[in-house]
Amino acid sequence: MSSPAQRPARRERRRAGIRIAAVLFAGVSVVMGCRLADTDGITPVPQFLAFLPWLVAPTAVGLALVLLARWWPGVVWSVVLLGLLAWFIEPYGKSGEPVGPAVASFRVLTSNVEFGQATGALTDAVRRERPDLVFVQECEYTCDAELKRTLGGTYPHRRAVEGGGSAGSVILSRFPLKAADPIPGTMGMPGAVAEVRGHAVRLQLAHPMPPLPGQVDVWKRELGRLRDFAADTSGPVLLAGDFNASQDHAAFRRILDTGLRDAARLAGDDRTPSWPARTAPTLGAQIDHVLLSADFSAQTARFLDLADTDHRALLVTITLHVRP
């Protein structure tokens, strides 16, 4: 039993715990409100949405504080937030197997090499894993030249948007490629049509601007262009790269709503983080994706750790089916 002198200090600790919990709950509530409203909001909401599953941590801390303080409205508040988080952590988008016979199985690798710094590590991974298609983001001039020199014999077909820094990107292919218009963007997003066992497959590299403070509108606009591409393209489609967005971003979900399916989700790895590589897979967000039209099934997805880049590469094994 506390003495009269101890009671004011105890009340102050209780009030402090309630204040801290309320601040935590308010921040999480803003993010969850945007998620419920199917909008990405303004800075800092898009940045926090990328780490939506990890918002369980501040909510749980707040719950512990309100339980100690016996603030029952706060307990209800936290339970509601935890319920919403559990609901939205579930995978988003369509799944299921395509109809029609399988005509070709092949492997696709996508990698952001961070201003070309991880070119050597990527080359080693490509030689080891032997994917059939390689999508490379942030492949500046030196990276582009090195890939031509080291992989040109194995991957004789390529489409690229040349550029310095983060602007350059390239698609490497074992399959013959025909030209296709790139999608306009701050960073290069080349396209192509691959001939896969006699079937035309539309390829598109994705690399919209990240949702940096002051650049969120550009990020939304460039993701919108990817969504328009997906909605307006018929036949087998493969859209791969660094989307700078996860399934918790409304702008990315609108791409999935066109009917494309996330290969990692189909293979059971829908929440495996790909960025930042320094803390993944313990902490991070899956912002590197291979999206497929309903003509494809996905068998496996593996995230590869490469030196000298802040992204993990994604390697998927997929199968093309012919619709009846």
Count the Cβ atoms, other than its own, within 10 Å of residue 147.
24
Residue 2 has pLDDT above 80, yes or no: no
pLDDT digits (tens, 9 = 90+) for 109-164: 999 999 999 999 999 999 999 999 999 999 999 999 999 999 999 999 999 999 99
Interval 302-321 mean pLDDT: 98
Residue 8 has pLDDT above 90, yes or no: no
Tell me the pTM.
0.94
CA–CA separation, 286 and 41 (whole Å): 20
Structure tokens given for 99: 């109809």
Which H or E element spans position 29?
Answer: helix 7-36
Residue 77 contacts by C-beta under 8 Å, 6 or more apart in sequence? 25, 29, 66
pLDDT band for position 6 (cuts 50, 70, 90): low
Which residues does residue 1 pair with via DSSP β-bridges, in sequence order? none
Residue 73 contacts by C-beta under 8 Å, 6 or more apart in sequence? none
Structure tokens given for 212: 């940096």
Quick one: DSSP state of residue 129? H
Residue 92 has pLDDT above 60, yes or no: yes
